[in-house]
Amino acid sequence: MEYRRQSITMTKRSRGTVLDDLPEWIVIEEILIRLPPKDVLRCRAVRKLWCSATSTDKFMLDNCLRQPSLPVINQDIPGQEGVTFVVFHDNGVGASNQKLWPIIQHSKFHNLLGGCDGFLILSDASHFWICNPATRRCAPLPQPQVPSAGGSCFYIAGFYRHHPSGEYRVLWFSHGHERGYILSAGSDKPRMIRRPSVSSCLSKFRREGPFDSCYSSQVNHRGSLHWLTGIYMKTAVDIMVFDTITETFRWMRSPDQLGCRVSLLEMGNRLASCSNNDGSIEIWVMQDYEAEAWALNYRINLVAMKTSPYF
């Protein structure tokens, strides 16, 4: 529905609000778009135009992207059956002091494999689901049906939104094979894709090993997925990058002096890595993405820290 240049025409009433004097497109694109989802639902009951405008796929996606990013934690709840995935709120979110808010609870979900625009991919030993925590609904996620795979076990390497088409896509690979497959959510027609040329620094074991989200979590940064490779070796090696627009792979240099137990993350809109190295935690932050320049920003001495009474 076209609303961009409409203005509100209402009968003068004593209960008029300041919104009555604003163009409708400003109310929707600058005010309603910034509200929490529950408040948007309440606003749909105010006017039919608001209801239709806030029900479009574009509005819901833009509203989702404006929500704060909250960490998801796998948490067992005493006295309740099944594994619960919860989000962590700090004290500044809302009026409640509750910090852990359950979003998904089911006994068959054991692994969180990826997230994109509020959607989560969960799995058990051999089955996959795509879930929307906002609606508490989950749907089976089919694996690629490829006769030439020879019964190979597929694993999820990445989950992303392909912006040119607007589709949510899953990147699948199988153990011991160079080829993988891209499968759009809701589709049963996979498209083949090959792994990138192997980095010269990787051992043969690492070249043939998996890089799926269970072992090396993806980081979606600047429109590309990033994985840290070499996590089974004494030190991490390189970063594998997948451009979600062109759907091509490339390699990126990692910090030179990473220790063991390394993970990638995004910090202050920059790519960062965190490693545990001889009783300390080191956090490296990328200073120049194009030049692949890293700098050591933090070193935390774990030996000098006092033990928390809660652990």
Separation CA 62–CA 102 (nearest Å): 24
| Answer CATH for 200-311 from 3.40.30.10, 3.40.50.2000, 1.10.3720.10, 2.120.10.80 | 2.120.10.80
Phi and psi (nearest 5°) for 24?
-60, -35
- Residue 180, exposed/middle/buried by CB under 10 A (0-12, 13-18, 19+)? buried
Residue 191's closest CA among 200, 178, 199, 182? 182
Provide the 3-class DSSP secondary structure of residue 304: coil
Give the CA angle between residues 201, 207, 208 to the nearest 5°: 165
Per-residue pLDDT of the chain (311 residues; tens, 9 = 90+): 444 444 444 444 445 566 777 888 899 999 999 998 888 989 999 889 999 999 888 898 788 778 777 777 666 655 555 556 666 555 454 545 555 566 666 656 677 888 888 888 888 777 888 888 777 778 888 888 766 555 567 888 899 999 999 899 999 887 766 678 999 988 888 899 887 766 555 544 444 444 544 456 789 999 999 988 765 555 556 888 999 999 999 888 888 777 667 888 888 889 998 888 778 888 999 999 999 999 999 988 887 776 555 44
Give tens-digit pLDDT for 90-147.
545 454 555 556 666 665 667 788 888 888 888 877 788 888 877 777 888 888 876 6
Number of Cα atoms under 13 Å in the Cβ half of residue 70:
24
- What pTM value is reported for the model? 0.71
Each domain of the chain, given as residue ranges in start order, spans 18-65, 68-141, 167-195, 200-311
Amino acid, single-letter form, for residue 56 = T
Contacts within 8 Å (CB) and 24+ apart, 54-59: 54/28, 57/166, 59/28, 59/33
Report whether 297 contacts 275 (CB < 8 A): no
